[in-house]
Amino acid sequence: MEGCSVFKINDYVIYGMTGVCKIIDIENKTFGDGQEKLYYVLKPVYTSNSKIFAPADSEKVRIRKLLSSDEIYALTLITPDEKVIAIKDDRLRNDKYSVTLKNGNITELVKLLKTLYFQRDELNSSGKKLQKFGEKIMKEAEKMLYEEFAVVINLKATQLESFLKGQINL
């Protein structure tokens, strides 16, 4: 293995929207452009038959280390940004939610999810439902957060909402 690598074999990382992956190898490979590059060989934790070759120097898809348990617990203290909640225009709000999901910034994902929980609870109290797009984004954000939280602090899927609302401590 040549080159400089930020991560090591057996490290767990977050790879883009794929989620939690284990680095099973680091190797030099030559793919489409004919140049040899350093690649992380990733095995997604929640998808059994996949193997991903991720360029170590990729700027397109972000690879980051998992959060620590302290960082995860600190996320329960985040309150939704009022500006996110106040976007009245459906298209603009949906665009903001999509961009937040795609960027994968963990703090922004927690804000988004708490915002959606707040909106859903408000709508439910008046007999209405969250729009389908909001539900879809909520499920995707929950999946992204849950997978990481499950690996780091042993969180169960059914506990995510209560945990993020600060109603349970593990």
- In CATH, the architecture of 69-164 is Up-down Bundle (1.20)
Among 70, 13, 72, 83, CA closest to 41: 13
- The structure tokens listed for 140 are 């995707």
Between 99 and 168, residue with greater pLDDT: 99
Where does residue 80 fall: left (phi above 0), alpha (psi -120 to 50 degrees), or beta otherwise?
beta
Per-residue confidence at 2, pLDDT binned at 50, 70, 90? very low
pLDDT in tens, 25-37: 999 998 878 889 9
